[in-house]
Amino acid sequence: MKQKSLDGAVNYMLEKAGREGIETVWDRSEQQEPRCGFGELGICCRNCYMGPCRIDPFGAGPQKGVCGATAEIIVARNFGRMIAAGAAAHSDHGRDVANALLLAATHPDAGYTIKDVAKLRKVAQILGVSVEGKTKEDLGREVAEKALENFGRQEGEIPFISLAPEARQAIWRKLDIVPRGIDREIVEMMHRTTMGVDQDHRNIIMHGARTALADGWCGSMIATELQDILFGTPSPLRGQVNLGVLSETAVNIVVHGHEPVLSEMLVLVSKDKELLELANSKGASGINLAGICCTANEILLRHGLPIAGNILQQELAVTTGAVEAMVVDVQCIMPSLPEICKCRHTHLITTSPKGSIPGALHFAFSEENAFQVAKDIVRDAILNFPNRKSVDIPKEKMDLIAGFSHEAITYMLGGRFRGSYKPLNDNIINGRIKGVAGVVGCGNPKVPHDRVHVDLVRELIANDILVVQTGCSAIACAKAGFLVPEAADKYAGKGLAEVCRTVGIPPVLHSGSCVDNSRILIALSEMVKTGGLGKDISDLPVAGAAPEWMSEKAIAIGHYFVASGVFTVFGVGLPVHGSKVFADYIFKELETVFGGMWAVEPDPAKMAGLIIDHINKKRKKLGIEKGKERVLYDMDMRRELEI
């Protein structure tokens, strides 16, 4: 039988699940075969009830929906709605973070505090809030209120685009796609794609760009930047990853979902003396907090707490029998969990009014009552510890370094006094580093779990391409051992390895959760501003990839990368092939509009080839294809560096 995952811990648990008749995402994925071809090609429409309609991809049957919609209209509308849904998810998360900041500023006794004042000041400036003579609470309140304005604004421009290179802003303005307000662009996309409105696939995808930019450069950016203000801007720290981080002896609480507003409070509470004593009195050695998915990335990045796995491992964590509570909030939480929890003693605990799951215990969490609810949850988990039956935890776990915010990258590469992207740019110009690839996104049971991520990233770093990661992709490569400094000597090409050794970084940098892809946008803009690599993001020798994507959120991310000028390759497949006209538009024509475009390639070796070719093409255009000889710095140059 072909292995379902690259990860031994996953295959081990899958066998166990199989023996016990526990159904997993892989079983259900098989049951869906053969999948609906119309859906896979993106040419089914149920936007009104004259349908549902479908286009015959072979040309023999209907070529139009009942209303007359062609294949490209249907594909574009479906694609546009995926962007809107993804942007909504990221941005609604951002809204909750802004509300938490408002609470921290106005009610400091509620449990949240403002941790990073330097970042607060920086964001204040971007949002046009004057910082002079204000307490951090005053400033926090104004920043939160300004951030919230970005959701409902009807006209004007989102302020964060000022971080993008001038040339990029000019392209967006010329196309009239600078987002006005987050909610407005999402609503407009839903309107345009309803029956009988926007009937031009190009026009739909241009508004798709506006909607996606409202996500990447605003909704997600608010989530990331305001989380940094509240919980601290990440800097490199050590952690561990995979199911082996679950403890045989301690109470295991697994947080799963996306919003650190909840998980940060659990981190705090799990150190509570009284609760630790309660745990001991129940025979547990302590409280072990671990994460799944993006919440895991958030608590890893800021606290070094362990990650139990990525999206496809959520059911398997429960299957170990070692999890007292799985605490979830929103996004990427499988509806199958209650049934699996029933086979074990695990309590599934929901916390968000937006994400209710029948069969779960609900602890209503809000920013105002966060501390008390977190305590109640941890207590519930502890009291559940004596109900453990047989426990089977795979031994696999791996060390990793995470926490490469764009600020941390500046610091690591440039040093404390000359913190800048200049050393990175210099190493790209001299050819030691060929380029940078952002490899991000989900897991998908349609392809062997983790394998596409790992095979792609291995090949990229072997070719001297520095890899920056977020989301479940980062977890996959962490498990494979790429996120430790020693990986540079083991897997990276000579040039990249040399840079990693000098600076002491891994060849693959973990930058956080999926909303933290906004960090990559800022890092790319910084590279442009630092100089020597062209005038726009589209000039840089960089690329993006989502090798095992599944979520609508990934489509929103892909499209804001493309609209920001990045060549972006998706694995698995893309529901667009039912219209050649549409596919040609996003795979070819968009490059002439944005300097970035979509590509799809399920095979990791070929995907690496596309990325390497693209990076070489950009290097050639910049006139650095050979790599310049190392310059020895004289005193003047050194002084310049130290400014």
Binding site for ligand NFS (CB under 6 A): 258, 293-294, 311, 332, 441-442, 471-472, 513-514, 551, 553
Nearest CB to ligand NFS, comparing residues 78 and 220? 220
Rounded to 5 degrees, φ, ψ at 5 are -140, 160
Question: Applying CB under 6 A, which of residues 66, 163, 187, 641 lies at the interface with ligand SF4?
Answer: 66
**If binding is defined by CB under 6 A, does position 197 make contact with ligand SF4?**
no
- Angle subtended by helix axes 422-429 and 517-530, to nearest 10: 70
Pick what 86 binds: ligand SF4, ligand NFS, none; C-beta below 5 to 8 Å, kind-dependent: none
In the complex, minimum distance from the CB of residue 71 to ligand SF4, in angstroms, rounded to a whole number: 10
CB 41 within 8 A of CB 577: yes
Pick what 290 binds: ligand SF4, ligand NFS, none; C-beta below 5 to 8 Å, kind-dependent: none
**If binding is defined by CB under 6 A, does position 310 make contact with ligand SF4?**
no
**If binding is defined by CB under 6 A, does position 65 make contact with ligand SF4?**
yes
**94 Cβ contact partners less than 8 Å away, ≥ 6 residues apart:** 147, 182, 218, 219, 220, 221, 222, 223, 226, 515
**457 Cβ contact partners less than 8 Å away, ≥ 6 residues apart:** 439, 467, 469, 477, 480, 482, 508
**What CA–CA distance (Å, rounded) separates 387 from 85?**
40
User: DSSP state, 630?
Assistant: P
Q: State how far the alpha carbon of 106 is from the alpha carbons of 209, 264, 462, in Å.
A: 36, 19, 50
Residues in region 67-126 near ligand SF4 by CB under 6 A:
67, 69, 74
Pick what 504 binds: ligand SF4, ligand NFS, none; C-beta below 5 to 8 Å, kind-dependent: none
In the complex, minimum distance from the CB of residue 65 to ligand SF4, in angstroms, rounded to a whole number: 2
In the complex, minimum distance from the CB of residue 623 to ligand NFS, in angstroms, rounded to a whole number: 37
Q: Which of 233, 232, 214 is nearest to 89 (CA)?
A: 214
In the complex, minimum distance from the CB of residue 50 to ligand SF4, in angstroms, rounded to a whole number: 4
Tokens 């209907």 found at: 62
- Angle subtended by helix axes 293-303 and 220-231, to nearest 10: 40
Q: Parallel, antiparallel, or unpaired for β 53-54 and 44-45?
A: antiparallel
Nearest CB to ligand SF4, comparing residues 67 and 190? 67
In the complex, minimum distance from the CB of residue 554 to ligand NFS, in angstroms, rounded to a whole number: 6
In the complex, minimum distance from the CB of residue 258 to ligand NFS, in angstroms, rounded to a whole number: 6
Nearest CB to ligand NFS, comparing residues 311 and 340? 311
Pick what 50 binds: ligand SF4, ligand NFS, none; C-beta below 5 to 8 Å, kind-dependent: ligand SF4
**What CA–CA distance (Å, rounded) separates 510 from 402?**
5
Among the listed ranges 61-69, 182-190, 216-224, 603-611, the one in contact with ligand SF4 (CB under 6 A) is 61-69
CB 453 within 8 A of CB 473: yes
In the complex, minimum distance from the CB of residue 59 to ligand SF4, in angstroms, rounded to a whole number: 17
- Exposure string for 571-600, b = 16+ CB within 10 A, e = fewer: bbbbbbbbbeebbebbbeebbebbbbbbbb
Nearest CB to ligand SF4, comparing residues 46 and 639? 46
User: DSSP state, 215?
Assistant: I
**What CA–CA distance (Å, rounded) separates 545 from 549?**
9
End-to-end CA distance of the chain: 60
In the complex, minimum distance from the CB of residue 390 to ligand SF4, in angstroms, rounded to a whole number: 51
Nearest CB to ligand NFS, comparing residues 332 and 487? 332
Residues in region 29-58 near ligand SF4 by CB under 6 A:
45-48, 50-53
Nearest CB to ligand NFS, comparing residues 276 and 475? 475
Nearest CB to ligand SF4, comparing residues 81 and 432? 81
In the complex, minimum distance from the CB of residue 225 to ligand SF4, in angstroms, rounded to a whole number: 39
| Residues of this chain that bind ligand SF4 (CB under 6 A) | 45-48, 50-53, 65-67, 69, 74, 195
